[in-house]
Amino acid sequence: MREQFCIDAMNQERPVYTVSDGSGLTAETVAHTLLTQFPGVEFRHVSLPFVNTHDKLEQAVNDICRAGQESGVQPLVFTTFVQDDFSERLQHISAEVFNLFEPFINRIERALDQHSSHKSGQAHGIANVGKYNRRINAINYALHCDDGLHTRDYDQATVILLGVSRSGKTPTSLYLAMHFGFYAANYPLTEDDFDRRMLPSDVVANKERVFGLTIDPVRLQQIRSERRPNSRYASLSQCQEDVRLARELFDRNNIPFCDSTGYSVEELGSQIKHQMALQSELI
């Protein structure tokens, strides 16, 4: 019976709870990052945000304990509570509980010689209206200047992404706007640009803010084939030619660039910010 229990337990996914009094984003980010260090384990994530009353806390405790009983393994629980009584309550349940702030906050208090505010929901809220507006305006700008639209407004850009069709420009622009508050435009390089062997005047006039994206032609072929299967546009030869000509344009104009192949939008965004030495507008 005991052995049966253990085998069952091993087949179960490990329940993982993130419990927060705010949006839960910090807890989710850290839990996700820590658990990617255990690629062999299957996890079942449950997010419990906005646990900001004692009633909701008891409900969360019930959910966690039930998941532990049903799976036969102790749930992992990640919290970012800054209220001591909330944090304390979770210490007495049958689960592995990690308060993600607790090991650091006292050390930071000592280093700064300041008490922490113990106010919850500060991290992902609206820190101030100016930064909030900056971000919304940046998103609107990215949409306004997506895919070569409104190049006359490039003088407002923080960064102008250049690349062939489907090299990842639009998602990266939107990410740069949302995450850093950058005014990110993007311009698709087409046969017209390659034939002229030069960039449009609005791009040239803002060249110090231009960044190129390149991509592996085989990956590009896959992406384009999803959009227009069996087209000339999606053929490997066309993809190879487009990527080669784009690289030539980057080299000829001394445009910094990176290869988007195999990178997430977060990685590309961080890479562009880093290579262009930009500072976030939102912190």
Site string for a copy of itself, 192-231 (x = CB under 8 A): ----------------------------------------
Applying CB under 8 A, which of residues 52, 83, 89, 105 lies at the interface with a copy of itself?
Answer: 105
User: Which single residue is written with the structure tokens 């010689």?
Assistant: 113
| 116 Cβ neighbours under 8 A, 6+ residues apart | 82, 105, 108, 109
Biggest CA pair distance of the chain:
77
Q: Does 4 bind a copy of itself (CB under 8 A)?
A: no
Applying CB under 8 A, which of residues 54, 69, 88, 118 lies at the interface with a copy of itself?
Answer: 118
- Least distance in Å: CB of 264 to a copy of itself? 5
Q: Are 165 and 265 in contact (CB under 8 A)?
A: no
Stretch that binds a copy of itself, among 53-61, 72-80, 210-218, 239-247 (CB under 8 A): 72-80
- Least distance in Å: CB of 196 to a copy of itself? 28
Beta strands in the chain (DSSP E): 14-19, 43-48, 76-79, 96-99, 159-164, 184-189, 210-214, 257-259
Closer to a copy of itself at the Cβ: 135 or 209?
135
The interface with a copy of itself within residues 137-196 (CB under 8 A) comprises 139-140, 143, 146, 168, 170-171, 174-175, 178
Picking from 152, 162, 154, 157, the residue whose alpha carbon sits closest to that of residue 183 is 157
- Least distance in Å: CB of 3 to a copy of itself? 16
Applying CB under 8 A, which of residues 11, 62, 237, 264 lies at the interface with a copy of itself?
Answer: 264
The interface with a copy of itself within residues 24-43 (CB under 8 A) comprises 24-26, 28-30, 32-41
- Least distance in Å: CB of 126 to a copy of itself? 5
User: Helices 217-227 and 236-252, interaxial angle, to 10°?
Assistant: 120
Write the single-letter amino acid at 164: V
Closer to a copy of itself at the Cβ: 154 or 175?
175
Applying CB under 8 A, which of residues 87, 235, 240, 271 lies at the interface with a copy of itself?
Answer: 271
- Least distance in Å: CB of 246 to a copy of itself? 20
Q: Does 132 bind a copy of itself (CB under 8 A)?
A: yes
- Least distance in Å: CB of 156 to a copy of itself? 15
Q: Are 21 and 81 in contact (CB under 8 A)?
A: yes
**Tally of CB atoms within 10 A around 249:** 19
Cα 151 to Cα 41, 67, 228, distances in angstroms: 49, 54, 27
What's the distance, Cα to Cα, between the start and end of the chain in Å? Answer: 55
